[in-house]
Structure 1
C-alpha cells in the first residue's frame, strides 16, 4: 500500500488507542472524583450527568468539526484535536480533588477526542486506489477497534499500578503517535489528494 495510506492508518490507530478507553473509563474516573470531593450532589447524578455531557459535546464536536476541517484542512484539524485531547489525558488525573475542574476537563476531552474520527475515513477514501476503498476502510476499522480493545483492557491495570492521578497518561501515547504519523503524511507528495489539496 502507499505510504500515505499507511501513515493515515497509523494515525487512526493512535486515535483509537485513546478514544474507546476514554469512553469506557471516564465514568469510573468521575465516580472516583465524587468519592474524594463530595460535591453536594449524588454520585449517580454527578457521574451520569458528567458522562452524558461528555458524549453530547463529543457529538457536537463531530458536527462542528467537519465544517472546521473543511476550512483549515483535515490533517491540520486532526493534529489540533489530538494535541488538545492528548494534553487532557496528561492533566486530568491531577484534578481528582476538584469536582468542577475534573468535569470541565472531561467535557473538553470528550469534545476534542471524537471529531478527528470521520476525517480518517475521508482521508483513506481520498488516498486509496478507488477499486480498493472498501477494503482499505475495512482494514482501518478492524485494526483500529482491535487496538482499542487492548487499551481498554490495559488501562485499569495501569491505574491499579499508578493510581488515577497518572493512569490516563498512558493514553497519551496514542495521540503522540497519531500526530507524528500525520506529520509524516503531510510530507508525502500524494497528500495533495486530501480534500483537493486542503490537507
Structure 2
C-alpha cells in the first residue's frame, strides 16, 4: 500500500462528561466521560441534559490529532473489542468548572502514559462507527508491519568451565577468590 503524504491529520472532538451522585460519603460526585462528538464546535461545560441529580455536560472540544508514527498504536486500539478514545482530565483551579479536559487521543500507549501519573484522570470512551472508520483509514495508510528478525547467537563456547578464574576477559594468573595475603613490610 502506498504511503500517504500527510504525517498527521486533525479533527475537533467534543467530549461529554456525566456527573452523578457519588456512592460513598468520601466522594460526593462521580465524574465519567460517556461520549464523543466528532466535528463538534467549541464548548466549555455546556449542560446537555439533566436526569434527576445526574447531569451531562459538553465539557470541551479538543483536537484529536493522528500521527503517522503512532499508526501501530491505532491498529492495536482498533483490534481491541471496543475501539476507544482516551480523555485526560485534571482537577481545575477555576471555581466555575470542576475538571479541565486536557487531551484526547486514539493511542492506548499515550493514554497509559497519562494514567501512570496520579495527577490525571484517564477515561476510556467508545468510538463512534464514523470515528472508527476515520482512524482505521489513516492507520492503514501509514502502518508498516515490522518483519520478524531472529536473533543469532555468537559462536563463543559457553560449556567451558574455569572455576576460580573470574572474568575471562581480565588477565590474571592467580585465583581471584583467594583471601588477600599479608604483605610483610621490611
Q: TM-score, normalised by structure 1?
A: 0.24
Structure showing greater Rg: 2
The structure richer in strand per residue is 2
Q: TM-score, normalised by structure 2?
A: 0.25
Relative CO higher for 1 or 2, CA cutoff 8 Å, sep ≥ 6?
1
The structure richer in helix per residue is 1
